[in-house]
Amino acid sequence: MARSVSIQRKIGMTILAWSVGLLIFFPILWTFLTSFKSELQAISIPPVFVDFHWTLENYRTIQTQSNYLHFMMNSIYLSLGSTVLGLIFAIPAAWAMAFSPTERTKDILLWMLSTKMLPAVGVLIPIYLLFVRFGLLDSRLGLIVVLFLINLPIIVWMLYTYFKEIPGEILEAARMDGAGLAKEIVHVLAPMAVPGIASTILLNVILSWNEAFWTLNLTTSNAAPLTQFIASFSSPQGNFYAKLSAASMLAIAPILIVGWFSQKQLVRGLTFGAVK
């Protein structure tokens, strides 16, 4: 009896898990399907699922209408730039807090995180005015700095939790074994910290890549990343859902591929080092 109950339960859980998974995945699947439809089929009621005339027309059109490569290069610059800048500041900060904490460390971490609770639009005007004043509007540098700053608390938190997991006794063992600070970092600390840093980089690249609020508000063409590319296919002449879907697919494709190949690190990154 107990056995059959557990099998039923297993089947139930499997169906539930797949349903939830599909529910979450459905928007992307729908976008994918729509990108191969004609504009008419894309808005047809009742909607068609797979039984339509598959076409690459939308992809061809958006290639001619705008410069995909230009937007993609900007996305790469912005996400990599802000990540590198973030690491430069976050590694020493997280390091100090993890290895020589004071009684204020927890407060500082919470304060940093609290800045993420402010709605971005609340500081849109001041930041916009600063950008005007310093001539940073539609510049890659300006955007890199903004993306770096908004993601900094998360990078620090992630690295902090990773560094915290490195047992102090191992560092002491290295010291006893005759390693000076430099050798300790090269032979012991770095190899143990690298996996954590790698997943931090990955998550931060994804966050920057998908960031839409600031990139849409502070760029027009020069520094415009893929979010602008998508946006340019909504609006003026009404919505062209098929082309919009094709543009979205092109925009998320690179990050989707990267994410697919590094799922393991990502899951670890997203759980913030909570599970060992």
The residues that touch another protein, with contacts defined as CB under 8 A, are: 167, 169-170, 172-180, 183, 187-188, 191-192
Cis omega (within 30 of 0) for bond into 191: no
The phi, psi pair for 274, rounded to 5°, reads: -70, -30
As measured in angstroms, the least distance from the Cβ of 59 to another protein is 45
As measured in angstroms, the least distance from the Cβ of 183 to another protein is 6
Nearer to another protein, 193 or 252 (CB): 193
Q: End-to-end alpha-carbon separation of the chain, Å?
A: 36
Nearer to another protein, 165 or 253 (CB): 165
Nearer to another protein, 171 or 231 (CB): 171
As measured in angstroms, the least distance from the Cβ of 181 to another protein is 9
Nearer to another protein, 16 or 170 (CB): 170
As measured in angstroms, the least distance from the Cβ of 167 to another protein is 7
> Tokens representing 35?
């990108």
- CB of 68 within 8 A of CB of 248? no
Cα–Cα dist 194/265, whole Å: 11
As measured in angstroms, the least distance from the Cβ of 196 to another protein is 13
* H or E stretch covering 141: helix 140-165
Nearer to another protein, 28 or 173 (CB): 173
DSSP string computed for 88-126 = HHHHHHHHHHHHS--TTHHHHHHHHHHGGGS-GGGGHHH
